[in-house]
């Protein structure tokens, strides 16, 4: 796991973080993780290339001096300046574009993805890609490809309207190809998908080592989110083809892939990552910043923290809570966290569901909190109801606070909890209700699980372990010499004023509402 020799005499590695919809323009789990790395490594020069929504997002984090710059690439703002190719240049573009589309839609043509993908990146570098994709010729090329008899999309009879919509989505998704890829140091994508584009280009053009960390499996989450979209099948097939082959290319080109749990590792191995280029690094928290939460509330309470989003499975949690109330009528459910822009309809649907189940007055959406520890202290039991997760911060933070937990068995949840909490299948309100009732009825069991959960965090999931692991990885990939061990400065604040729930999510998930 060694990178090329250092380009200068400096022993300070240069790391470019690659983000999508997260740090440093949003709060939330992945952004907290990025801030932990940056604050914990003043001996590393950081830069950030951030894929954002509109480009108007303000910085949500106070950046230390060793973050040398932030370059933002919005997906949904005005189109980039540039002129569409003409004449023979247009014909060359359309030839490459047609083969690119075929690689996304026809498994027999997948081997052409990388070549045509980087060819499109050359058009992006010259400022021509976005303009070319907004032209009529690009849409008509897609219609012809879709309607090839041997492709499944032909049976859906795709229309020119479908092609215009799909081409527009593709144009937005490929805008980060216009980023200037770092020619030195290490690029570190903190998610799969569109965040990887500058890192793939840097590796392709300059041989820059590319590091990939997936907190959740980006491709799996795109599969889940596109199920709920109103797009017709040809549009979905095209975009999911793009995300699938981006995952394959990212796993193939990464110098190292660092999943946060064994569940992610299995996906990454299945996606083609050589096992010797995978190293699991768990998320960590500072146990001193998350001490035991103290006395429980007198009224039986379930608490939850996260962003109000369909992937968090709140409808399952609300249905489970309604079952709990049948046995414990004075129980309540407190939901801490904000509602992302565009997610208001989901929150309204959850509130309506609670009312329909007769629990409306006992289900409280508390909104964002200045200190996330208050959310964990608010419950006798902390709940996690997600249908997809990586290695969730809210869970290990609640464990560090000594609270018993009930969680869905997704991602790395079982690895995090071990035998210190109850784990149930996702989308199963009855199982979740039974687990919650078991803990609510047994204070001694809650106390025992909470104590053991905190000990588990201290032994296995500390922030120091995470930072030390990535410092070693950065030096290995950059070919720089490690410094002598030193005591990292403590933050001047125990906890930034961020809520567990926020607008942080991959920005392509907002495609339907992101006109631009």
Is 446 in the same domain as 351?
Answer: yes
CATH number of the domain enclosing 333: 3.40.50.2000
Residue 155 belongs to some domain of the structure? yes
Q: Can you tell me the distance from the alpha carbon of 424 to that of 438, in angstroms, rounded to the nearest whole number?
A: 13
Is 369 in the same domain as 259?
Answer: no
Is 26 in the same domain as 105?
Answer: no
pLDDT in tens, 324-336: 999 999 999 999 9
Is 98 in the same domain as 232?
Answer: no
Residue 159 belongs to some domain of the structure? yes
Query: Could you say which DSSP state residue 482 is in?
Result: P
Could you tell me which residues are beta bridge partners of residue 335? 304, 365
Is 411 in the same domain as 504?
Answer: no
Q: Can you tell me the distance from the alpha carbon of 186 to that of 255, in angstroms, rounded to the nearest whole number?
A: 10
Rounded to 5 degrees, what angle do the CA atoms 440, 328, 322 make?
A: 100
Q: Can you tell me the distance from the alpha carbon of 119 to that of 113, in angstroms, rounded to the nearest whole number?
A: 10
Is 109 in the same domain as 243?
Answer: no
Residue 465 belongs to some domain of the structure? no
- The total of structural domains in the chain comes to 3
| CB 172, CB 124: distance < 8 Å | no
Residue 434 belongs to some domain of the structure? yes
Of the residues 152, 171, 190, the one at which a domain ends: 171
Tell me which residues of the chain have a pLDDT lower than 50. Answer: 1-9, 486-504, 510-516
Kindly tell me the sign of the dihedral angle through the C-alpha atoms of 87, 172, 224, 249.
positive
- pLDDT of 158 reads 95
Residue 467 belongs to some domain of the structure? no
- pLDDT of 224 reads 86
Residue 418 belongs to some domain of the structure? yes
Residue 339 belongs to some domain of the structure? yes
Kindly tell me the sign of the dihedral angle through the C-alpha atoms of 133, 137, 140, 144.
negative
Is 453 in the same domain as 305?
Answer: yes
Q: Can you tell me the distance from the alpha carbon of 434 to that of 456, in angstroms, rounded to the nearest whole number?
A: 24
Q: Is the pTM of this model over 0.85?
A: no
Q: Can you tell me the distance from the alpha carbon of 467 to that of 487, in angstroms, rounded to the nearest whole number?
A: 12
Q: Considering only the C-alpha atoms of the chain, give the largest distance between any 2 of them, rounded to a whole number of Å.
A: 77
| CB 127, CB 83: distance < 8 Å | yes
Residue 472 belongs to some domain of the structure? no
Is 156 in the same domain as 196?
Answer: no
Of the residues 150, 171, 192, the one at which a domain ends: 171
Is 268 in the same domain as 328?
Answer: no
Count of positions (residues) in the chain: 516
3-state helix, strand, coil in the chain (%, to 5): 50, 10, 40
Is 74 in the same domain as 101?
Answer: no
Q: Can you tell me the distance from the alpha carbon of 393 to that of 186, in angstroms, rounded to the nearest whole number?
A: 26
Query: What number of other Cβ atoms are within 10 A of residue 10's Cβ?
Result: 12
Which residues touch 233 (CB under 8 Å, ≥6 apart)?
153, 156
Sheet holding 363-367, edge to edge: 363-367, 332-336, 301-305, 381-384, 404-408, 422-424
- pLDDT of 353 reads 98
Q: Residue 112 is part of which domain span?
A: 87-171
pLDDT in tens, 129-156: 999 999 999 999 999 999 999 999 999 9
- pLDDT of 509 reads 56
Is 165 in the same domain as 181?
Answer: no
Q: Quote the crossing angle between the two packed helices 29-40 and 393-400, to the nearest 10°.
A: 70
Of the residues 171, 201, 216, the one at which a domain ends: 171
Which residues touch 345 (CB under 8 Å, ≥6 apart)?
none
Is 68 in the same domain as 151?
Answer: no
Centroid of chain to Cα 21: 8
């Amino acid at each position: 796991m060694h990178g090329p020799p250092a380009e200068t005499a400096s022993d300070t590695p240069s790391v470019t973080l690659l983000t999508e919809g997260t740090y440093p323009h949003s709060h939330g789990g992945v952004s907290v993780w990025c801030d932990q790395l940056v604050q914990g490594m003043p001996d590393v020069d950081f830069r950030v290339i951030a894929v954002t929504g509109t480009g108007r997002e303000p910085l949500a984090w106070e950046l230390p001096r060793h973050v040398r710059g932030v370059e933002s690439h919005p997906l949904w703002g005005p189109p980039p300046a540039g002129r569409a190719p003409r004449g023979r240049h247009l014909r060359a573009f359309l030839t490459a574009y047609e083969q690119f589309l075929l690689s996304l839609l026809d498994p027999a043509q997948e081997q052409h993805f990388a070549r045509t993908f980087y060819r499109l990146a050359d058009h992006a570098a010259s400022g021509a890609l976005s303009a070319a994709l907004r032209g009529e010729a690009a849409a008509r090329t897609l219609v012809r490809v879709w309607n090839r008899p041997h492709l499944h999309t032909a049976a859906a009879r795709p229309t020119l309207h479908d092609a215009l919509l799909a081409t527009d989505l593709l144009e937005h998704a490929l805008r980060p190809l216009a980023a200037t890829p770092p020619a030195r140091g290490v690029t570190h994508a903190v998610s799969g998908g569109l965040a990887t584009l500058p890192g793939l280009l840097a590796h392709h053009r300059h041989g820059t080592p590319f590091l990939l960390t997936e907190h959740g499996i980006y491709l799996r989450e795109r599969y889940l989110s596109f199920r709920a979209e109103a797009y017709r099948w040809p549009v979905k097939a095209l975009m999911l083809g793009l995300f699938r082959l981006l995952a394959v290319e990212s796993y193939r080109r990464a110098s190292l892939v660092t999943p946060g749990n064994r569940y992610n590792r299995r996906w990454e191995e299945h996606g083609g990552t050589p096992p010797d280029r995978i190293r699991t690094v768990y998320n960590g928290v500072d146990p001193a910043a998350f001490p035991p939460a103290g006395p429980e509330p007198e009224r039986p309470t379930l608490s939850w923290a996260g962003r109000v989003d369909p992937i968090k499975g709140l409808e399952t949690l609300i249905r489970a809570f309604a079952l709990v109330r049948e046995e414990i009528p004075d129980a309540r459910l407190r939901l801490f966290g904000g509602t992302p822009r565009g997610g208001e309809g989901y929150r309204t649907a959850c509130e309506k569901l609670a009312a329909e189940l007769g629990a409306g007055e006992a289900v409280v959406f508390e909104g964002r909190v200045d200190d996330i520890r208050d959310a964990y202290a608010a419950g006798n039991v902390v709940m996690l109801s997600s249908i997809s997760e990586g290695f969730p911060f809210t869970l290990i933070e609640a464990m560090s606070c000594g609270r018993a937990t009930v969680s869905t068995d997704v991602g790395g949840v079982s690895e995090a909890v071990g035998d210190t909490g109850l784990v149930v299948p996702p989308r199963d309100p009855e199982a979740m209700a039974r687990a919650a009732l078991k803990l609510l009825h047994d204070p001694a069991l809650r106390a025992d699980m909470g104590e053991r959960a905190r000990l588990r965090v201290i032994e296995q999931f500390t922030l120091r372990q995470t930072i030390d692991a990535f410092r070693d990885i950065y030096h290995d990939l950059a070919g720089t010499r490690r410094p002598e061990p030193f005591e990292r400065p403590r933050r001047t604040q125990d906890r930034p004023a961020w809520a567990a729930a926020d607008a942080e999510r991959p920005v392509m998930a907002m495609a339907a509402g992101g006109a631009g």
